[in-house]
Amino acid sequence: GNSVTQMEGPVTLSEEAFLTINCTYTATGYPSLFWYVQYPGEGLQLLLKATKADDKGSNKGFEATYRKETTSFHLEKGSVQVSDSAVYFCALSDTRYGGSQGNLIFGKGTKLSVKP
């Protein structure tokens, strides 16, 4: 079935360090891929997405490229800030019942802490 595997945290970095959070997926068909971010005490909000192979999603200095050949969608940022401290979720749109549907399948989340 469809599933998402992302690196376990927590991840602790110093300010201005380079960030990579790995995400790989298993899916039939052609899912859309997402990164959502959850700041402390808040709901999830979309960080970036990619809807087809080789697409690059980007937002707020974060980037991720949809790699169908490696079934990956790794999140990267060149220089993290304290304000980036949050939990990051990789997700894909469900394709179990044909097509690409709005139902999301999430990874378990990676907690990022950035120290000044």
Partner 1 sequence: EAQVTQNPRYLITVTGKKLTVTCSQNMNHEYMSWYRQDPGLGLRQIYYSMNVEVTDKGDVPEGYKVSRKEKRNFPLILESPSPNQTSLYFCASSFRGHGGDTQYFGPGTRLTVL
Residues that bind partner 1 (CB under 8 A): 31-32, 34, 36, 42-46, 49, 51, 89, 93-95, 99-109
Q: Which is nearer to partner 1, 17 or 100 (CB)?
A: 100
The residue assigned the tokens 């790995």 is 22
Rounded Cα distance between 39 and 65, Å, is 23
Least Å distance between CB 107 and partner 1? 6
Least Å distance between CB 52 and partner 1? 9
Q: Which is nearer to partner 1, 84 or 94 (CB)?
A: 94
Least Å distance between CB 16 and partner 1? 29
CB environment 43-75: b (16+ within 10 A), e (fewer) = ebeebbbbeeeeeebeeeebbbbbeeeebbbbb
Q: Which is nearer to partner 1, 19 or 109 (CB)?
A: 109
**Residue 85, Cα to own-chain centre: how many angstroms?**
14
CA dihedral over 113, 16, 25, 90, signed as positive or negative: positive
Least Å distance between CB 46 and partner 1? 5
